[in-house]
Structure 1
């Protein structure tokens, strides 16, 4: 693995990792790594299992619901980066026959899962496929509540909506409200899964955090594929070790990479902006001045650190980062600190509850903006989009 620009490249050696870093015990126990005492053995075993998973992927027909479930499991287990070409090929095939297959399927779970997987991949597929689940009064059919797995997939799919998709707005309200009320009457394992999804829907969850939890869920699923489960555990442990090494070198890497990119990501420049905006907030406080929401948002976007986080997220991408990407990153951010509530209350004579409701609407709008940016064609390359999406996911995780 190589990091940064040509001035900062460094070969990562797992043997060095073991000598220099003290690790917490593997979350899966030593059983899964006893056969892999050296880097070469680990890589060989990972590659062997990877080829076996590839064969499983190839055997399952692209148009079957089993292929949808398999791709979903691979992605949620955090190992989809090993099978990008295979997954893209299968999803392209599903996209080409999307309307035909979705019109024939009356199973909510299958329709919602197909929609979500394609939207995740950037395909601009129609949400009209959910119209069949709407009753004569324009609401989702109450009979759907009997299908908890289908409701859960509908809930996850609804988070990929963009502006103007009313059926997905209805889907999110319907599925979330019904799942919340049903959760108390479910088996403990299913209830835990639903409650976790209500806090951290797939769209807003960090891949590795989600994978850590989903590995345990997948292990308890009687229909799980043992080779995929073992591969995910091995991959998780190896990646965990690599990240521990990366964290120990992060400061040096950031300084080197900032120097290579120049002014757009210069730490001193970013820090100077932060200090200026913190000073502006201090003046408001000293003069007991309550700014308008517009005034506050202009300052809070910078002082909250989102731009710094977004910029830093590009570290290690090398030549994938262009000057145009830098300018795009420097555009308006979407996050503001919760003290903006006070500004809104003062400006509009609103209650705290009304202010929170308004900001929740803004957050929902921002996520739809993000979803739109993620659909092809994208303004910048997919790896850049994913980094910014993950930065936003961090904020969602910290707010829970």
Structure 2
């Protein structure tokens, strides 16, 4: 779909506001260099620090500011300040005094998202004598939206009150959608599709940068900082897209696997959902290239190779040596060589103290190949596994566990420590839950879209056969399992992850969030790239005034 678009694309001349509080209609064309924008961002960051440090802020105002920083995508510049502020809010003895459902929900969500435990009992004051939520909340749509988003951070065992919160708030938000003004109407629509805690941050920022100006009491300094920061990052992303497109064009034409999906831009969009910040540039390039190569491998096992060829490909991958190319059919020679040479290039880009990372990465690729082969055997031999047997293999073949390691490959030393690799490669619960979400959403999509006849039976089909129910009922049950997997991720994120690997765990959760976008509404936006065209254009091409 995109072909060479990002190779030849030239962004339009930057536009700037002569005053950061002016409306968009007052824009004047003005060339702004990246150097100027970078310098201005640095000055604005200091202005924000000095401004906020000089204010005596209430807990409610602190929460609103943190929420704004995060949704504008500029929180990474104020990580230490945010951590200190939320720790103070968490320890506040008067934390339960607010009767504002928006503030109580905001506190619950932000603290839980930052790994700080908050009891769901804080919502008891908003229930009536029957135990249901009070109908008085219906007059507060912003409060309902906050409650809805907060309740999606439920941990295992919290079904009753938070399930009720989701059902109550969703029902009323659905009913009032047509009556709300901007930007609340758009924010409600987004949340009803994907709740805020499950939406990749960059996609929220993409919309909220435009919406924040309409918020009552918005701060011009934050708006200007967000616009500049978004454009600087977008400029970097476009450069990476150009380089990746050139790499992919050469790779795809070299390996000559015409049956393999050509999805470089969709792949990079997915990558930016995992990590979009400038500091992750090298990690993004390695992640996107690896994902492209693994996609070729997946399509070979899944839709093209004979079982004998699958066995030979797996044997060569386990050997991981150029001499093994001799055992492969000729059409796989260039793919295998490209796989090995690409990983050699990754290794060359790693510093002396980072070389150890390659052993973990090649290990997960070899493991993934084994799982791909297991599924190929099931498919070619028409084997019908039990649901549990299917999940043991298909969760691992979802690529999620492998990419949970790959995302560390190019990351900085503050994230990609040896303990993080050991943790990720051991498939801890947050990784296995993410893998299950990926598998369940993928299989629900294949059920809705119709799968290839040669594909192995999906988890939906296995569940339907094993439990004697219709595929529609099986799909509903699988969707419930995906929801419970999210709750495992929420629970693990609040205390069960070693402190040293928390930055890595945050990236794994980001990886899980991307699956909600790729499989939204039962679509498969990687296989059917047209489904992402609008989002890709919005993220990389729509103008943002600066």
Q: Are the counterparts in 2 of residues 62 and 90 from structure 1 also a CA contact under 8 Å? A: no
**Equivalent position SS for 1:389:** helix
Query: SS at 2:16's partner residue?
Result: helix
Following TM superposition, by how much is the alpha carbon of 1:188 offset from its aligned partner in structure 2, in angstroms?
Answer: 5.7
Q: Secondary structure at the match of 1:100?
A: coil
8 Å Cα contact 2:144-2:169 kept in structure 1: yes
Query: What is the match of residue 207 of structure 1?
Result: 201
1:111 alignment partner in structure 2? 104
Alignment of 1:114-193 (within 5 A): 114-165=107-158, 166-187=160-181, 189-193=183-187
Q: What secondary structure is seen at the aligned counterpart in 1 of 2:117?
A: coil
Distance 2:240 2:214 in 1: 32
Aligned to 1:357: 476
Conserved 8 A contact 1:62-1:93: no
2:418 matched residue in structure 1: 323
For 1:62 and 1:378, the matched residues in 2 are separated by: 31
1:66 to 56, 61, 77: 61
Conservation of the 8 A alpha-carbon contact between 2:16 and 2:32: no
The alpha carbon displacement at 1:149 in A equals 0.5
**Residues in 1 aligned to 2:43 and 2:471: alpha-carbon distance in whole angstroms:** 57
CA RMSD of aligned residues (A): 2.5
The residue aligned with 1:82 is 77
Q: What is the deviation of 1:36? A: 4.1
CA pair 29-171 structure 1, distance change in 2 beyond 3 A: farther
> Judging changes above 3 Å, is the alpha-carbon distance between structure 1 residues 377 and 288 closer, same or farther for their aligned structure 2 residues?
closer
Q: Does 1:378 align with 2:497?
A: yes
Q: Give the Cα separation in 2 of the matches to 1:69 and 1:399.
A: 31
Q: 1:254 to 1:357 in 2, by over 3 A?
A: farther
Distance 1:254 1:151, change over 3 A: farther
Q: Is the 8 A contact 1:254 1:312 kept in 2?
A: no
Distance 1:189-1:200 versus aligned 2 partners, 3 A rule: same
1:394 positional shift: 1.0
TM-score (norm 1): 0.86
Q: Compare relative contact order (CA 8 Å, sep 6+) and give the higher one, 1 or 2.
A: 1
- Is contact 2:101-2:143 (8 Å) kept? yes
The equivalent of 2:407 in structure 1 is: 313
Shift of 1:391: 0.7
Bigger shift: 76-85 or 158-167? 158-167
The answer as to 2:91 corresponding to 1:96 is yes
> Of 27, 30, 42, which residue of structure 1 is paired with 2:15?
30
Is this contact kept in 2: 1:36–1:45, CA < 8 A? Answer: no
**What corresponds to 1:346 in structure 2?**
465
Gaps of 5+ in 2: 1-5, 18-28, 245-284, 290-341, 444-457, 521-546
Instruction: Please give the residue correspondences for 1:7-22 in structure 2 after superposition, counting only pairs within 5 Å.
Output: none
Question: SS in structure 2 opposite 1:123?
Answer: coil
The residue that corresponds to 1:368 in the other structure is 487
For the residues of structure 2 that align with 1:326 and 1:232, how far apart are their CA atoms?
Answer: 33
8 A Cα contact 1:60 1:67, kept in partner: no
For structure 1, list consecutive stretches of 5 or more residues without a partner in the other structure.
Answer: 1-19
Q: Which residue of 2 aligns with 1:262?
A: 358
Retained in 1: the 8 A contact 2:59–2:89? no
> 1:38 and 1:132 mapped to 2: Cα distance?
51
**Deviates most, 126-135 or 281-290:** 281-290
Query: For residues 469 and 506 of structure 2, what CA distance do their matches in structure 1 show?
Result: 36
Q: Distance in 2 between matches of 1:21 and 1:287?
A: 44
1:52 to 47, 51, 54: 47
Which residue number in structure 1 is paired with residue 191 of structure 2?
A: 197
Q: Is the CA contact 2:183–2:214 (under 8 Å) kept in the aligned structure 1?
A: no
- Comparing 327-336 with 128-137, which one deviates more in the overlay? 327-336
| Cα offset, 1:283, TM superposition | 2.5
Q: 1:109 to 1:274 in 2, by over 3 A?
A: same
Query: Is 1:288–2:382 an aligned residue pair?
Result: yes
Residue 101 of structure 1: SS of its match in structure 2? Answer: coil
Query: Of residues 236, 239, 248 in structure 1, which corresponds to 2:233?
Result: 239
Q: Tell me which moved more, 207-216 or 174-183.
A: 174-183
Q: Residues of 2 paired with 1:355 and 1:349: CA distance?
A: 9
